[in-house]
Amino acid sequence: MKTLRYLAFCLFLIPTGAKAQFETFQDSVVQLYGVVMTADSLRGLPAVSVIVKGSGRGTITNSQGVFSIVVLKGDDIEFSSVGFKNKITRIPRELEGNEFSLIQLLVTDTVYLPASIIKPRPTREQFERDFVNTDVPDDNIEIARQNTDMAKRRILAQALPRDGREAVGFNLAQNARRYYSAGQTPPMNIMNPFAWSEFVKAWKRGDFKKK
């Protein structure tokens, strides 16, 4: 019996509490409307962002700078536009009624850039001289062409150590020459025309020059 009385009492209080909470929320809702203008010329600013901070809601002003948005009492409203300083306005918590209007002025945000001095060439002759003598850095194609040059590849081949494949090939070639004359006197290449041909090519390349 006591449980039924308790349930009936709770069912009686729930609508009353919900109604009071709804009335409190309804009283805090404010219809905000106004116009955004420049502070120096009082000209209406179009496309100004009007954002309720912390809620992710907002709007923009029309072509005359007029806007309208639903907010809550105590909300911070941020006005921002390119070329102007941001401005934050708070809706009064003690506001009577559910409407609030304002005229928001934005101050021009001046940005000073470093000075640039452009000097023309005194004469055409000086321009042509400087243009011809300007050191233009190599592009990727020119760098690739230089890296594939025969002389540079030869220098790199002499300076860089052999990789695994080259070392194995050299070792196999040495073993093949050694096994070719196994058990007998190694042949002399002084009368070998192919050996003389390789010697002449190496001489022309400069392989015997002191580095």
| Residue 131 within a domain | no
Greatest pairwise CA separation for the chain in angstroms:
128
Claim to verify: residue 92 and residue 142 sit in the same structural domain? no
- Which amino acid does the sequence have at 172? L
pLDDT for the residue 5: 55
Domain count, the chain: 2
Claim to verify: residue 27 and residue 98 sit in the same structural domain? yes
Claim to verify: residue 157 and residue 87 sit in the same structural domain? no
| Residue 125 within a domain | no
pLDDT for the residue 175: 85
Q: Which residue has the higher pLDDT, 159 or 76?
A: 76
Among 18-32, 59-73, 94-108, 127-141, the minimum mean pLDDT is found in 18-32
Tokens of 14: 């729930």
Q: What share of the chain has pLDDT > 90, as a percent? A: 31
Helix/strand/coil percent split, the chain, to 5? 40, 20, 35
Angle between helical axes of 140-147 and 150-159 (0-180°, round to 10): 60
Claim to verify: residue 99 and residue 175 sit in the same structural domain? no
pLDDT at 112 over 50: yes
Among 9-13, 85-89, 143-147, the minimum mean pLDDT is found in 9-13
Among 4-18, 167-181, 188-202, the minimum mean pLDDT is found in 4-18
| Residue 46 within a domain | yes
pLDDT for the residue 3: 52
Q: Which residue has the higher pLDDT, 8 or 39?
A: 39
**150 sits in which H/E element:** helix 150-159
Q: Could you give the CA distance from residue 130 to residue 81 in angstroms, rounded to a whole number?
A: 46
Sign of CA dihedral 189, 195, 196, 201: negative
pLDDT at 17 over 70: no
Query: What's the domain range around 177?
Result: 138-187
Claim to verify: residue 144 and residue 97 sit in the same structural domain? no
Claim to verify: residue 29 and residue 77 sit in the same structural domain? yes
| Residue 48 within a domain | yes
pLDDT for the residue 25: 46
| Residue 178 within a domain | yes
pLDDT band of residue 142 (cuts 50, 70, 90) is confident
| DSSP SS3 for 50 | strand
Supply the mean pLDDT for the chain.
81
pTM equals 0.45
| Residue 182 within a domain | yes
CATH number of the domain at 100, please: 2.60.40.1120
| Residue 10 within a domain | no
| Residue 73 within a domain | yes
pLDDT for the residue 65: 94
Among 21-25, 108-112, 205-209, the minimum mean pLDDT is found in 21-25
